[in-house]
Structure 1
Amino acid sequence: MTHHLHHHCKPQQLLIPAPAGQLEVQMSCPKHPQDPSHTPYIVVCHPNPVQGGAMTNKVVYMLASTFNAMGLGVVRFNFRGVGKSTGTYDHGDGETDDLRAVVQWLKTEYAPTELWLAGFSFGSYVALRAHEELGAKRLLLVAPAVGRFNFENLKLSNIPTMIIQGGQDEVIVPDDVLRWMRSQSYQPQLHWMDEADHFFHSRLNELRDAIIDKWGRHLV
């Protein structure tokens, strides 16, 4: 009876086996699911390790705490070479393998009824690359790193997808994000934040509210 599995969830930080050795994972358990037989889990991918990205990044933390407050189980993890995760930066290829390893672990340990994926900046690139093969049911891309990584051949699937983008982004060109988005066969929801920069300084609460407003009702 998979719908009882969430009762065994322990909030914890742990190391799991991965292609490059081990990955550091932070698990936040589902909070009082409305319907125990419907308990989605979301995996959140952090920004570029070369620029200091880690699962402790404030945007990643806000995404995790928001989805946890909405009732989801949440997994954050450090890509290879970050924190206690072994290995070295691999330009997105190895990091996609890292995400695969985390999702495999999650499915084995917790059997989520649905897998959702979220990524911030570089993390959006990784989540987008793997979302279809991993069977994600929802995808959130926050300030996706269009123009910095090769998004040109990456396609959105016919699943609920949201892009949150700041108009004052100093790292990603906002128009590049719009251009890529408009080229897609499946159009995502877009939440445009005119005044937000790349790291959503002073805009994290607005980021949280947008997610709850757009997606919260699907959990009731």
Structure 2
Amino acid sequence: MSNESSRSAPTEFPRESASFLLPGPVGDLEVACEPAETRAKSPPAGIAVICHPHPLHGGTMHNKVVTIIERSLRELGLDTVRFNFRGIGKSGGTFDEGEGESDDLASVVRWARTVRPEAPLWLAGFSFGSYVALRNAKTLDADALITIAPPVGRWEFDAIDLPDCPWLVVQGEEDEVVDPQLVFDWVESLDVSPHLVRMPETSHFFHRRLMDLRGAVKNAMRAYLPKANDPA
């Protein structure tokens, strides 16, 4: 597959790997797209937009957890979209404590819905990215949500208007950045019931457990695919 790069956002979802700059709220946003692996056999099951971890702590759309989430969803049959929050890579602007990053996500989703207006929208995120995805899932009317190592206790989760779509939470039991017990207690306290996957002997960045994370995402989310797109 080629890796095309242009300064103008495409008006159709690329049929090959592509990167481009999308106009955002405070400047361009750097975006990377990958077509579903099943595209040759069946139409994509949806489009997934994936959010990366904290911009001030080395988080980018090239983070290995983000890329394994992307791979998992592409293998399930979804077109995927990653992007750099403001101030990261070629994206303009500066870090904005989750507020501006929410606007960045909304801009990317707006483009995704323009190029794939009938496609179900899945949102996913890792760490800080899961916080941004979660706090916007209901407003953006997501059809499914994936939150990996949500930073409960580090960001304000109590005031979030929770979505009622299918929702996966994956949390390592030996996370050294996010307190796992806070995550488990938070999930237990919710009025909605996300699907919680606890991964033993797993750190925040899923060292030596990335393939297990890939399997966890695919196994949990396969049930929400249209039947025609469910890979064997």
Relative to the length of structure 2, the TM-score reads 0.88
**1:79 maps to 2:85:** yes
| Aligned counterpart, 2:214 | 208
Q: Shift in Å at residue 173 of structure 1? A: 0.5
Counterpart code for 2:67:
Y
| Aligned counterpart, 2:8 | none
Q: Conserved in 2, the CA contact under 8 Å of 1:165 and 1:193?
A: yes
| Aligned counterpart, 1:172 | 178
In the alignment, the residues of structure 1 paired with residue 81 and residue 59 of structure 2 have an alpha-carbon distance, to the nearest angstrom, of 16
Q: Shift in Å at residue 110 of structure 1? A: 2.5
Counterpart code for 2:27:
G
Q: Conserved in 1, the CA contact under 8 Å of 2:135 and 2:162?
A: no
Q: Percent identity?
A: 44
In the alignment, the residues of structure 1 paired with residue 69 and residue 118 of structure 2 have an alpha-carbon distance, to the nearest angstrom, of 19
Q: Deviations over 1:88-128 (max 9, x none)?
A: 00010000000000000111123251000001000011001
Backbone CA RMSD of aligned residues: 1.5
In the alignment, the residues of structure 2 paired with residue 157 and residue 35 of structure 1 have an alpha-carbon distance, to the nearest angstrom, of 29
Q: Conserved in 2, the CA contact under 8 Å of 1:106 and 1:112?
A: no
| Aligned counterpart, 1:96 | 102
Counterpart code for 1:196:
T
2:73 pairs, out of 67, 70, 77, with: 67
2:115 pairs, out of 85, 109, 119, with: 109
Relative to the length of structure 1, the TM-score reads 0.93
Q: Conserved in 1, the CA contact under 8 Å of 2:47 and 2:120?
A: yes
**1:12 maps to 2:18:** yes
In the alignment, the residues of structure 2 paired with residue 211 and residue 197 of structure 1 have an alpha-carbon distance, to the nearest angstrom, of 17
Aligned pair count reads: 214
| Equivalent position SS for 2:141 | coil
Counterpart code for 1:80:
R
1:121 pairs, out of 127, 134, 150, with: 127
Q: Shift in Å at residue 155 of structure 1? A: 3.7
In the alignment, the residues of structure 1 paired with residue 76 and residue 100 of structure 2 have an alpha-carbon distance, to the nearest angstrom, of 31
Counterpart code for 1:89:
F
**1:24 maps to 2:30:** yes
| Aligned counterpart, 2:51 | 45
Runs of 4+ with deviation above 4 angstroms:
none
